[in-house]
Amino acid sequence: MASMTAANWKTGQTIRLGEAAYGELRDRLTRGGYRPGDKMTVRSLADALGVSSTPARDAINRLTAEGALVYAGPKTVIVPFLGEDDLREVTLIRLALEGLAAEQAAAHCQDHHIEKLLEIQIDINKSLETKAYSEALWHNKEFHFLVYRLSGMPHLIALIEAQWLRVGPSFYGLYPEFAEARHGVRNHQMAIEALQDRDAKALRAAFENDIRDGYRRLRASLRQDSGG
């Protein structure tokens, strides 16, 4: 009994309101519940989540530490606008981290993982056909993180998730255009083929391509916004 205590204490359901609030806010950010510039106040979040100010404040503090929220003033936390410089930096970081994750994933890939990826890709295509962009975005994330998890590097995955959370709110609004272009389909196909060959370098290249494609499109839309 004493031996399982140290290993399994996380198993019990999360009774910590702070962590629950963090997870919920994180989810809403991921799902496009907020737009860049939206103010995050302790009291409004506490009301929205039905908790008191302490857990709400914990959630905001943590997301701020991770870069998913930023200070716009001494007493003002907002969902960040991603400028061109920010986008460049986060992209370079993503290339480094997700490239590493992909490279490490190849060694731990099994056939059933590839089958699962094929299923997810079918889901993505279906979602695109029915113009269910929010779903497509979700499946796209599933695709990426299924591979990244194969790396067996939990801390690395947490870092990658933090980067996605940074670009998410800015990315989400203009997904329709992205989806129409279907730029991700070819890259995902390349990734699956690389995985079948257990070719770590090719897998990395496929994901880097995907990241770079997304970067170019996001940057273009950023310039469009500032230009007109």
Interface residue list for DNA (CB under 7 A): 2, 5, 9, 12, 15-18, 20, 39-44, 51-55, 57-58, 60-61, 72-77
Tell me how many degrees the CA angle 78-81-86 measures, rounded to the nearest 5: 125
State the SS3 of the chain: CHHHHHHHCCCCCCCCHHHHHHHHHHHHHHCCCCCCCCEECHHHHHHHHCCCHHHHHHHHHHHHHHCCCEEEECCEEECCCCCHHHHHHHHHHHHHHHHHHHHHHHHCCCHHHHHHHHHHHHHHHHHHHCCCHHHHHHHHHHHHHHHHHCCCCHHHHHHHHHHHHHHHHHHHCCHHHHHHHCHHHHHHHHHHHHHHCCCHHHHHHHHHHHHHHHHHHHHHHHHHHHHC
Choose the one of DNA, a copy of itself, none that binds residue 66, judging by a C-beta under 5 to 8 angstroms depending on kind.
a copy of itself
Residue 96 lies near a copy of itself (rule: CB under 8 A): yes
Least Cβ distance, residue 5 to DNA (angstroms):
6
Closest CB 68 distance from DNA, rounded Å:
15
**CB-nearer residue toward DNA: 80 or 184:** 80
73 vs 227 by CB, closer to a copy of itself:
73
6 binds a copy of itself (CB under 8 A): yes
* Interaction of residue 13 with a copy of itself, rule CB under 8 A: no
Q: Which does 67 bind (CB under 5 to 8 A by kind): a copy of itself, DNA, none?
A: a copy of itself
Beta carbon nearer to a copy of itself, 33 or 67: 67
Q: Which is nearer to a copy of itself, 109 or 159 (CB)?
A: 159
Distance of CA 115 to the CA centre of its chain: 22
Binding to a copy of itself by residue 209, rule CB under 8 A? no
Q: Which does 51 bind (CB under 5 to 8 A by kind): DNA, a copy of itself, none?
A: DNA
- Which stretches of the chain bind a copy of itself, using CB under 8 A? 5-6, 9-10, 12, 58, 61-62, 65-67, 71-74, 86, 89-90, 92-93, 96-97, 99-100, 104, 153-156, 158-159
